[in-house]
């Protein structure tokens, strides 16, 4: 998807009359620099589960990790459809981004090494991961790595010119 620009449309029902659709480049910038994301999954019994986590935007997808026995890991085993969100907690500025997609396991060693380097570059040496057997390893813990390529994403512009943009990727 590198260089791909998804179709953007402004929802005028929820946007200021002078608003325009936000460019995908603004959303990618936020996804790249955000320190925290919120992952929404669904428990096997249908109840929602939301948790904050760290991650990296790389290779046109958002990546995160989890232990297989953690609640989010168990949820993903039953239903890989997720929503990831990030932004800021103010009404006066910025953009909040919501990414909808399917969490797909990353197991390729070369790719995991690139992602491990991206994690450490973004979060510092305390977030160093070794790659072994298709997983991240750190301090005796094993983590599965997932990518979420956006299927649909939303941008909620805030400030004096509120806007709601939908980006379609298919």
Confirm if 27 and 153 have CB atoms less than 8 A apart. Answer: yes
Residue 38 forms part of a structural domain:
yes
Residue 145 and residue 33: Cα distance in Å, rounded?
Answer: 19
Residue 2 forms part of a structural domain:
no
Residue 128 forms part of a structural domain:
yes
Specify the higher pLDDT residue, 101 or 91: 101
Number of domains in the chain: 1
Q: What is the pLDDT of residue 1?
A: 47
Mean pLDDT of 140-161: 96
- Domain, as residue range, for 107: 7-168
Residue 152 and residue 136: Cα distance in Å, rounded?
Answer: 28
pLDDT at 170 over 80: no
pLDDT at 3 over 90: no
Residue 142 forms part of a structural domain:
yes
Coil, helix or strand at residue 22: coil
Residue 35 forms part of a structural domain:
yes
Residue 55 forms part of a structural domain:
yes
CATH number, residue 139: 2.30.110.10
For residue 68, the 8-state DSSP code is T
Residue 1 forms part of a structural domain:
no
16, 68, 75 from 27: Cα distances, Å: 19, 29, 27
For residue 33, the 8-state DSSP code is H
Q: What is the pLDDT of residue 32?
A: 97
For residue 107, the 8-state DSSP code is -
Residue 108 forms part of a structural domain:
yes
């Amino acid at each position: 998807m590198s260089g791909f620009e998804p179709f953007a449309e402004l929802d005028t029902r929820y946007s200021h009359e002078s608003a325009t659709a936000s460019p995908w480049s603004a959303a990618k910038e936020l996804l790249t620099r955000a320190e925290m994301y919120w992952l929404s999954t669904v428990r096997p019994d249908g109840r929602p589960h939301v948790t904050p986590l760290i991650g990296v935007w790389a290779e046109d997808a958002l990546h995160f990790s989890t232990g297989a026995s953690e609640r989010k890991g168990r949820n993903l085993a039953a239903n890989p459809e997720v929503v990831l969100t990030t932004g800021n907690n103010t009404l006066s500025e910025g953009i909040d981004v919501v990414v909808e997609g399917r969490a797909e396991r990353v197991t390729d060693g070369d790719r995991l090494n690139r992602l491990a380097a991206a994690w450490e570059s973004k979060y510092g040496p305390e977030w160093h991961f070794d790659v072994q057997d298709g997983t991240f390893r750190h301090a005796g813990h094993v983590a599965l790595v997932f990518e979420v390529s956006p299927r649909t994403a939303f941008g909620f512009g805030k400030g004096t010119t509120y806007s709601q943009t939908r980006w379609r990727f298919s």
